[in-house]
């Protein structure tokens, strides 16, 4: 006991003041770079959803795939809806990157080819997930909102590219750019959705023929046909 009557010595008081107990971190808080861990979880979520389908995907399965805990997953995605919504955002971010082109050097045929190439073996999971998202969007409002927002942005950007081509005389201008963009989206969406199901229909050679056909359809009418 010291002079003040306390059972704690001055030395101990000083130690407790200088070394306060640190509060516990959030449950499941990951160690390391946050963005890298989120990207890892997102990749796992895409793979699990592609393999298990929307219904079969779960936070637990995503955690198991990376060798982590469910707490680690919930640190980034509070629930399954939030996780799947993030998956949808990732899918559309890749589509948006397609349209990040210089309008002054427009080559719409190459642009559409990039769109179809996204369905190659390295990106198959994304398209399998996309099919799952479309199938459940009617009853999952959060997913529907992501699809609607990004689809509208995608069509708007494509319409701007088509409009530039019309001004340059490389794309027919007797049909509004917005309608042509909508038609192009419908064509490519249909092809992309069917490619994993009918791979023999979409050989590299036939894809080139399909793209050439699209180029013919949107090309300005020739002077001889007027």
Q: How many CB atoms lie within 10 A of CB 65?
A: 17
pLDDT for the residue numbered 62: 96
pLDDT for the residue numbered 20: 45
**Contact between 74 and 53 (Cβ < 8 Å):** no
CA distances in angstroms from 108 to 146, 175, 181, 197, 224, listed in the order given: 26, 16, 11, 26, 24
Q: DSSP secondary-structure letter at 76? A: H
Same domain, 116 and 157: yes
**Does 10 reside within a domain?**
no
Cα 148 → chain centroid: 13
Same domain, 38 and 104: no
pLDDT for the residue numbered 166: 92
Same domain, 194 and 149: yes
Same domain, 63 and 146: no
| Cβ burial 134-161 (10 Å sphere, 16+ → b, else e) | eeebeebeebbebbeebeeebbebbbeb
* Residues of the chain scoring pLDDT < 70: 1-32, 98-99, 101-106, 117-124, 223-226
How many domains does one find in the chain?
2
**Contact between 62 and 38 (Cβ < 8 Å):** no
**Domain boundaries, position 169:** 84-218
pLDDT for the residue numbered 9: 43
pTM over 0.85: no
Same domain, 56 and 151: no
What is the Cα gyration radius of the chain?
A: 27
SS3 136: helix
């Amino acid at each position: 006991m010291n002079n003040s009557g306390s059972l704690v010595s001055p030395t101990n008081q000083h130690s407790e003041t200088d070394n306060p107990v640190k509060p516990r971190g959030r449950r499941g808080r990951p160690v390391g770079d946050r963005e890298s861990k989120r990207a890892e979880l997102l990749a796992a979520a895409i793979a699990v959803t592609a393999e298990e389908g929307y219904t079969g995907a779960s936070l637990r399965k995503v955690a198991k795939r990376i060798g982590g805990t469910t707490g680690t997953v919930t640190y980034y995605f509070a629930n399954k809806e939030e996780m799947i919504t993030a998956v949808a955002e990732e899918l559309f971010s890749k589509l948006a990157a397609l349209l990040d082109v210089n309008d002054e050097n427009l080559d719409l045929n190459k642009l559409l080819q990039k769109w179809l190439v996204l369905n190659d073996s390295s990106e198959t999971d994304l398209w399998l997930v996309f099919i799952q998202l479309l199938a459940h969007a009617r009853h999952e409002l959060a997913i529907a909102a992501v699809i609607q927002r990004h689809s509208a942005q995608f069509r708007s950007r494509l319409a701007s590219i088509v409009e530039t081509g019309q001004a340059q005389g490389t794309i027919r201008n007797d049909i509004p750019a917005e309608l042509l963009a909508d038609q192009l989206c419908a064509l490519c969406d249909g092809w992309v959705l069917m490619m994993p199901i009918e791979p023999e229909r979409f050989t590299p050679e036939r894809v080139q023929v399909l793209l050439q056909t699209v180029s013919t359809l949107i090309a300005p009418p020739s002077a001889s046909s007027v």
